[in-house]
Amino acid sequence: MSEFEYKEGKRREYRNKSEELLTQLPDFCRTYERGIEGTVTATTMYQYLQRIHVFFQYLHENNSFYRNKDLKQITYDDLSHLEAEDIEEFTHYIRVGKASDGRQNKESSVNHYLCALNSLWDYSISHGRLRHNVIKDVKRGKKRRHEVITLNHENETGLFDSIQYGTNMTRHQEAYRNDVTVARDNAICLTLVRTGLRVSELVGINLDDINFTDCYFHVNRKEDKIDNVYFSDQVKEVLQEYIRLRPLLQPDPAEKALFLVTIGKYKGTRLSVRSVQLLVKKYALAGAPEVGSRMTPHKMRSTYATNLLRASEGDLTLVQEALNHESPSTTSIYLQKRQKDLRDNRNLIDEEG
């Protein structure tokens, strides 16, 4: 299976999930889905429909006007009667966790629901089905800027010591250590922290996507953009060591995935996103406890961005290209991290003197 076949498989999976939701939603949602399918990914489409489904289910269960209506019976005319207060009651419902087993949602999650509903209303207005976008009458909460969590040199050293030498690993974790697992996990973590690949991009890489002559991965980025992601000589070395041991996992000859499961009934098959998230957390907790509980593959991407910004002497355009960001504003959060580093270390030379 090529990387593109893998991506297409994921697209089919989300299209099927969307199709299942559409059988429960009003018929106009299918018209909406077809109208915007060329502008969003299959994953985004499913997320939109999922949130729209939660909204209609909420109306059915909590709004007296919709209580006697099946979800399939809701019409454009019904939507036209909604007011800002109705939407605000829904956002409160999401905010306090009534749609997520009592787990309170962050303001960003509430905004994601509003974004999905806004997309539906905008489409309906542009096609003359609704006259007013009531979603825009609702004020959105301010998105709180999160601290950029990264691995410093000491954290990074500790994390890789836990991979290579089993430092601070539990007896249970030690039981699953072997040469091929260590080589794979070392290659995964070094690739993440030295290339800034997204975890979904990492697990999608196949053997045929690696060019060891010019040192790059052929990657299918977000929005199906094809890109060459370059890696260092150090990454090249650990990748080749893992690939040398990869046959020990006895994969099916047709399995071309680079990173494979090393134990259990799925041994020799493509590693999942969730598995990478768990192994990063495991090694971070053991080797970099200062940030371990908050460390994820995306934080390793942040580490790469911060290190590249420092090494390139603040070349934001280079970092933007490396991270495959559409907008410089997305990349600019790493400038703030850099400014914080400078502020926190302003007395560093005086202290050494």
Residues tagged active-site: 198, 222, 298, 301, 325, 334
Radius of gyration of the chain from Cα atoms?
24
* Alpha helix segments (H runs only) across the chain: 3-22, 27-36, 42-62, 76-80, 84-95, 107-126, 153-165, 171-174, 179-195, 199-203, 233-245, 273-287, 297-311, 316-323, 328-331, 333-344, 348-352
* Contact by Cβ (8 Å): 280, 189: yes
In whole angstroms, give the CA distance from residue 151 to residue 288.
8
- Which phi and psi (to 5°) does residue 341 adopt? -60, -45
Please list, in sequence order, all residues whose beta carbon lies within 8 angstroms of the beta carbon of residue 47, skipping any fewer than 6 positions away: 112, 116
- Which phi and psi (to 5°) does residue 188 adopt? -60, -50
| Strand bridging mode 226-230 / 216-220 | antiparallel
For residue 239, which of 305, 286, 192 has the smallest C-alpha distance? 192
- Which phi and psi (to 5°) does residue 315 adopt? -75, 90
CB neighbour burial string for 94-112, b if at least 16 within 10 angstroms, e if fewer: bbeebbeeeeebeeebbbb
How far is it between the farthest Cα atoms of the chain?
Answer: 77
Please list, in sequence order, all residues whose beta carbon lies within 8 angstroms of the beta carbon of residue 227, skipping any fewer than 6 positions away: 219, 221, 324
For residue 120, which of 56, 60, 68 has the smallest C-alpha distance? 56
